[in-house]
Structures are given as structure tokens and as C-alpha cells.
Amino acid sequence: MTSLDDMFARTRGEGRAALIGYLPAGFPSVDGAIDAMVAMVEGGVDAIEVGLPYSDPLLDGPTIQAAVDAALHAGVTTTDVLHTVRQVAATGAPTLVMSYWNPIERFGVERFAAELKSAGGAGTITADITPDEAGAWIDATDAAGLDRVFLVAPSSTDARIASTAAATRGFVYAAAVMGVTGARAEVGSAARQLVERTKRATQLPVCVGLGVSTGAQAGEIAQFADGVIVGSAFVRRLLDASSPEEGIVGVRELAMELSIGVRRAAVAS
């Protein structure tokens, strides 16, 4: 059993979806990002995705790109990311790295897996590599005992969903809208359909990243998914804050609102 397995067992036992929050490491500073992630856990987030800043984030929308650019200009490194993981994992919340493939490959595939495990990381979400291209990563994560999360999308064929799920450990990430990340005003039917298709192919939890920004949206997704993933809305709280302290208050308040949303969905169902 991994820490993610334990988390999903707990949330299933509570009859609710898990709440997973994302922030990039190093924004507004390395310590500031750690404080914000800890505040998210205190507010009710069950697991944390630590973004590894990258100069060509093709799948990230403008909100996340703005924070990532600031982190890169401040000189944030992969070593800083691993330090962030260590500090956040100390809260007891499963802590993953969300990364594009290039930074992992540059750092060294086996080295990255070993150092992430040593830092207490639960695993990694790789946004831009498919399992058939990830043989070295699959071997490295198996050796380190890390979960590895791959993505499926509405455009994925049933065969692609099945092969992706077979190579995945921890949970399947359902990127339920086409295009870049970012908060959206409403939840469409594509999310539910993608979760249903994925669940036909695997017993793993299926978590939805859609652009959730409110407790009501989180509750809507929690009615059919095993986990709700929120990123841009947390980043926006930091970007809009007039001070790091105000940002920490903002992400904690949002975490509480989203946590209430997923728990109300459990009561309603």
C-alpha cells in the first residue's frame, strides 16, 4: 500500500471524493510556496501536487504560466522542488510532483525517482509523455516504489485509455477538457463521460482536472469522480494577493470551501 492507496481508502471509507491541490514550487518564493501548500492541507486538501517549473509548459494556462515564469526567473531548481516535497510530505499528505518530461530527463531519470522517494514523495504526474514512450520512467518508478500517474483525455480512444490505465499507479488523471489548464465557469458532460469510460478499463481511482474554482463545482465533480484536482484557482489566490501572508490566507480559505464542497456531495449522495 502506498500513501495514495491509503488516502483513497480513507476517502472511500468516508464516502467522498479526494481533494487534490496543485501549486508550482517556488512561487511566490520557495518558502512561500511551502507555506501555501501546508495551508492547503490545513484547509482540507487531501494530497498535494508540487509543480516543477518548466520553461515550455504547453498544457498550462496563463494563470499557472505566470506563476511558473516568476519561479523560473527567481532561479528555482529541481533541487528546490525536491526540498518542497520533503517539507510538504512532512504534513502527512501524499505529495506528488507534477512535471513535464524534459526536466526529469535532464536531471536524470533514475536519480530523480530515487531523490523523490528519499524526500518522501508519493509519485509523479507526467503531463506530456505517454506510457509507450516512458519505459525508462516506468522502470525507475518501479525500482523506487513510486506511483506514476498518466493522463487520459476526451480524445483518447478506449484502447488508449486501457493501455494508459494499465501502466498507471496511484490514480488515473482525467484531463476532462481539451486545451490548456485554467478555471472554468461550469462543469460539462465530457468529464462524467471520460470518468465512465476510464472506470470501464481500470479499478484505479479516477481523478478529474477540469478547471474547478468553487466548492459547488468541486461537489459536482465529486458525485462521479474519485478525486477532484484544483490548480489554477489556488495559483490565482497567490497571484492576486497583495502580500505572501494574504496569499496564504486565500489558499487556506479556498481549500476549506472546496473541502466543504466534496463533503457535501458525499452527504447528498
Residues in contact with 221: Cβ distance below 8 Å, sequence separation at least 6, in sequence order = 17, 187, 191, 208, 210, 212, 228
Catalytic residue among 49, 147, 220, 226: 49
* Catalytic-residue membership of 240: no
Active site residue 220: no
Which amino acid is located at 199 in the chain?
K
- Given the residues 35, 46, 60, 220, select the one marked as catalytic: 60
Q: How many Å apart are CA 125 and CA 123, to the nearest integer?
A: 7
Q: How far apart are CA 158 and CA 181, in angstroms?
A: 23
Beta strands at 123-126 and 95-99: parallel, antiparallel or unpaired:
parallel
- Taking alpha carbons only, the member of 178, 132, 135, 129 closest to residue 150 is 129
Measured distance CA(179)–CA(161) in Å, rounded: 18
* Sequence-distant (≥ 6) Cβ neighbours of residue 136 within 8 angstroms: 109
Cα(81)–Cα(14) distance, integer angstroms? 32
Phi, psi dihedral angles at 149 (to 5 degrees): -110, 125
Q: Which residues contact 213 (CB under 8 A, 6 or more apart)?
A: 183, 184, 230, 232, 233, 236
Residue 227 has φ and ψ, to the nearest 5°, of -155, 150
Active-site residue list: 49, 60
